[in-house]
């Protein structure tokens, strides 16, 4: 290849890089504006059977998933799964 051909390739690649950088910046801006749904606390531990009993039929059964999760240091998903019978099925049968 000649030097002129290589120079042309470098220019084309530089233009593509600029276009891609612009696209990435645009996408990053859109992502930063997306509201993340707050489902409550992150889990600090595994859910025990005693926790499951409390959220399914005990003192926490009438609380929202989020409030019950916060009370026990669990995640929203753990409480949701227990109440929905996805985990600890033997307690919901």
SS3 32: helix
- Rg, C-alpha atoms of the chain: 26
Nearest to 73 by CA among 50, 49, 41: 41
pLDDT digits (tens, 9 = 90+) for 17-58: 999 999 999 999 998 888 777 777 788 899 999 999 999 999
**Terminal-residue alpha carbon distance, the chain:** 75
| Residue 59: pLDDT band with limits 50, 70, 90 | very high
pTM of the model: 0.60
List pLDDT tens digits, range 68-79: 999 999 999 999
């Amino acid at each position: 290849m000649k030097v002129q051909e290589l120079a042309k390739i470098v220019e084309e690649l530089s233009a593509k890089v600029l276009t891609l950088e612009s696209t990435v910046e645009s996408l990053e801006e859109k992502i930063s504006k997306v509201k993340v749904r707050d489902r409550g606390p992150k889990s600090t531990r595994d859910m025990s059977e005693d926790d499951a009993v409390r959220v399914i039929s005990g003192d926490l059964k009438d609380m929202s998933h989020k409030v019950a999760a916060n009370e026990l240091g669990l995640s929203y998903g753990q409480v949701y799964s227990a109440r929905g019978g996805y985990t600890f099925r033997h307690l919901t049968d």
